[in-house]
A and B are shown apart, each in its own frame.
Chain A
């Protein structure tokens, strides 16, 4: 009788909603993993392998080379200027889009996405056309001794342009989802606009903001196309890390090129790890901030 019951029990089992056979599922998983390994993990490993091909000494030596040091410093400088500015612009744009109704809102959203849809080279070219010596503003700038192209300001401008959407894109859906009720509650309780922003809005969006800033920073340090057009590739002066990698590579200095490249790859890894750690550590707070 017990056996009967067991058999009946098996028959009574509902068919699972997922109908793919086990073999199919395993095959699909393996294909996905192989794809990731070949196209993502392998190249990343090769960067590090090549960087250390001539030993640790050569690696450190390549990083201490004056032009490379200058490139690292310039990259950090650009990021330090561009990321905070985009943080402010991004929050302002997301705030405007998510909390208010106004004419031209759809246009503004499209405009925010523009840097994503335009080729980075074109983004750089825009600044050449705007500030170059043949341009409208060129003569005026030259007369006042202001150098924008082939100098730090141009690189910063191009970087800001390219990385603008990251913070705003991260925040707009989040803020739209949260609505204005929290802010209205704070105002009704007597808080000023500034208090409401600092004590209610900002804490509500802080995780989204942090993600946006991390991604924005990674892109700001890694941007090649737009920066390449406006920088002029002056060694030790206007070369950022990605540009330096290209120059070293073109000179067959593979160890040097991969050494600098490994720093950029490391930045990407650190960004990912920090993001994952934050998600893990503050899981509750994050789930709390994306709804009840």
Chain B
């Protein structure tokens, strides 16, 4: 089902947890709400669910205004970070709960509920654990049961609040790809909240990057990673370094020298240069470069991270070199960003680009 969130505002004691948030979600999409804690992502999820109500704005479920509907009427599936399984019910009863509370014309026979619950248990690959109680399950198993329980009611939208937040790294990765498979198999419109960028980038069709109650950027993993539209997104997604630079005569200047990055006819003035550690090129001579002294060197898996102090204010930037690269042994290093992005003082995107190198 299509979801449309229009100009949503939510205040807690005058503090705006969400400020004028609008977002359209297409039917069958898998959407990640990504942001640091306090960015309002869980608040937004709870507003969509109807567990909280907005101070202003509207939420549409498939063209129908759901703002005034109760959580029961919205027919959503909600998965909590803490699982929130009913501890006195076994796995089968947990999954069947949503069906067993239906009354009147929607009432479902016990045997049918059990069949449906078993089907779902099969889908989440936990057959054989029907009679277990939640405290007899591992964290990953509990989260699978919670997902099965949410899907049992055939929800119009599936909402997951930090679904893997309480699990260890290995289980997280397994469940991540598994969730993608389940989503592709069932086709539920799904929104999940996470503070883990890897999870968001790997799993979601589109990522909604949130910060301080606002949406910073909406886009595919490639879009938010390759063309971040604000300093926040650049800094939050992936690793990055920034340097204060000047645009002068079609060139970027860091302190007193040009760094060999042409910017065309960009307006002159101060700007912030953003680049990623792995998107730099080491230079031998410095005819236009950023040069710095190595302050720290760390081995990160297959590569080596060098922390450089550059310029008179000893600004720290990070660059990545191959693990065995001779540069790692040097104390002074010159480099130039290969891919970069500029933001002006107001955080607006200025030109970006790649440096063309002669082959």
Q: A residues engaging B (CB < 8 A)? A: 179, 181-182, 184-192, 195, 199-200, 203-204, 284-285, 287-289, 292
Residues in chain A near residue B75, CB distance under 8 A: 190
Which of B51, B77, B153 meets A184, CB within 8 Å? B51
Residues in chain B near residue A191, CB distance under 8 A: 72, 97-98, 101
Query: Can you list 13 A-B pairs, Cβ within 8 angstroms, ordered by A?
Result: A185-B84, A185-B149, A187-B71, A188-B51, A188-B71, A188-B78, A188-B150, A191-B101, A192-B72, A284-B135, A287-B135, A288-B88, A288-B134
Residues in chain B near residue A284, CB distance under 8 A: 133, 135
Q: Does B240 contact A (CB under 8 A)?
A: no
- CB–CB A285/B98 < 8 A: no
Residues in chain A near residue B50, CB distance under 8 A: 188
Residue of A at shortest CB range from B75?
Answer: A190
Residues in chain A near residue B153, CB distance under 8 A: 189-190
- CB–CB A285/B97 < 8 A: no
Residues in chain A near residue B77, CB distance under 8 A: 188-189
Residues in chain A near residue B92, CB distance under 8 A: none
How distant is A112 from chain B, measured CB to nearest CB, in Å?
A: 25
Residue of B at shortest CB range from A287?
Answer: B135
Q: A191–B101 Cα gap in the complex (Å)? A: 6
Residues in chain A near residue B78, CB distance under 8 A: 184-185, 188
- CB–CB B80/A185 < 8 A: yes
Q: B residues engaging A (CB < 8 A)? A: 49-51, 71-72, 75-78, 80, 82-88, 97-98, 101-102, 133-135, 142, 149-150, 152-153
Which residue, B50, B76, B77, B97, has most C-beta atoms of chain A within 10 A? B97
- CB–CB B72/A200 < 8 A: no
Q: A19–B97 Cα gap in the complex (Å)? A: 53
Given A188-B49, A190-B153, A182 and B101 contact (CB-CB distance below 8 Å): no
Given A182-B86, A200-B86, A289-B87, A190 and B80 contact (CB-CB distance below 8 Å): no
Residues in chain A near residue B84, CB distance under 8 A: 181-182, 184-185
How distant is A132 from chain B, measured CB to nearest CB, in Å?
A: 46
Residues in chain B near residue A204, CB distance under 8 A: 86-88
Q: A199–B135 Cα gap in the complex (Å)? A: 18
- CB–CB B87/A288 < 8 A: yes
Q: A190–B70 Cα gap in the complex (Å)? A: 10
How distant is B298 from chain A, measured CB to nearest CB, in Å?
A: 34
- CB–CB B101/A190 < 8 A: yes
How distant is A94 from chain B, measured CB to nearest CB, in Å?
A: 18
- CB–CB B88/A203 < 8 A: yes
Residues in chain A near residue B135, CB distance under 8 A: 284, 287-288, 292
- CB–CB A292/B102 < 8 A: no
